[in-house]
Structure 1
């Protein structure tokens, strides 16, 4: 959820130079940022290299830049900065330059409000490190571990051999005895909601019961197919020395070579090469939770224990509602909006730009959302510069009237182009009802 904490300061034009950049997908894919040409032309000669970006959360990020045909381009360090703050197309960055190596930066999302910055620890809330007691030295062997019992209503499911990954296929009905643990915060969002009531939440609770004398951390899978995966930087610092560390990830007896990378300048850590192969082989899905247990420190090997979200079908889950919504068929044009814990409180909802440009580009922005037998007024907004379209005024009234919850999916069907009426079909997470 965005905040409105940003307050422009009184500043002298002679000492502070301000500019902003709206992010485009091309820049994000390239992993670089081109500073406005006029700024580079007038002030580029006095900008030190590297520079440091200071955020309202108190962090500073070291960025190396290059000069390309007289233009300053942020390169080394920028990609990690963008990943940490989950920068996306349409985000606006405000820069204040005081003719030193320091740029003060504020980030605004597509609602035009400043974002809530993650806590100052440069880590990932998809990652949790659990240390029940100070770790003892590891010498190659697999230490004895205790695991919370897993059961079904009829029988207890046996655990697989300790030489294989433990893949939990059924839910537990045992009492929740989750451990207290430090949570590594991040701004990662909009993939899967792990809030109470979801199958991902139940899988996480089961994973938190895992116990071992070996050090380990937990990773929540919000999006399975990615080329890399954040993990706690504090874990890397504690157990590894080099900034690039070769390791092996064990899944069901198979070893997958991988590399761990640590970026000292902003204290972030990733599983890089090897992650994608492991994720595909283990068939990770959003909502799954994986425990990475360091069972061999001399020749680093991580044993993996996967808790599958699909094992907890009795819990409401947005996957079911999304699957049902995708089966919607109509001769009328339509688009889909997924409701997450992140976008639920927002005053706008993102809609597909191609839908807007095809059916509303030359019409008035006023629309009507048909909810049961009621017509709720709303407005559409389109920003060509950032290629973004929204349902704006009227969205929160619709959310309240329809009692939307995280995990629900809305299909908006254009049933009357002349009067701009969108009939809504809501697929409820866990109930799969629509109207």
Structure 2
């Protein structure tokens, strides 16, 4: 009778170093609970290498910074987690998959209650490297056309190389790509500044991120003239991501809001006032976050719609919202 011998399988170093995944199902939480606990097994395995802050990266490239709270073997995502949840409209029943990439860096995929992955807000090429901050083109407009072209060129060449490796022919022409990007950047910058100047003459603030067609620009100006507003006002021309949050221009925010403001009331026509959460940007201006997604859904807001916010009460600030669908 042949003897049997148990042989332990060898585990390669590559297997040990492979990325670690875990998932979290979002469950109902007590009011004021604004943190998410990391699975204990993960904390035991990697807790020693976690810093005080973690980076969360979505498939669209957007990165958010959240603090990590440690208590023995327990670890939570804490400061910044609530904003991450609000920005992406994460609610009870959502399913999040985390891929740990070392050095406190995580890639996150978000699935809604249909069990399908959500559609992430688009990221512009200019903001591909921006971290811990939601970006609007008010800053991007100030980026030189030369830098814009260089980034585009770098991306195109990388893309060409990846396609070549996949046995798909793709020709990267640095010269023509650079010229096209420079022309596009120059045209967009001119259009944006023209719209800002036109609305500014009527006392209406607007973010310089408004990249819309010539017809859309005319429509925005036509609406502004029609309203004949006398109170401080700002306009938001909706982009795809604006169903999650809406940006309040820095000049308007800094002039009429104190930096410690955490919420603002908004009223549509004669409806009940809604309280919306404020998420300040480091460079000024803020986003309407918590409560905005609900309002956006209720009013069926979509890309191209124009929202006009008029400041009608300075004490216990109240903004009157007028909506013009595309």
More helix by share: 2
> TM-score scaled by structure 2?
0.48
> TM-score scaled by structure 1?
0.38
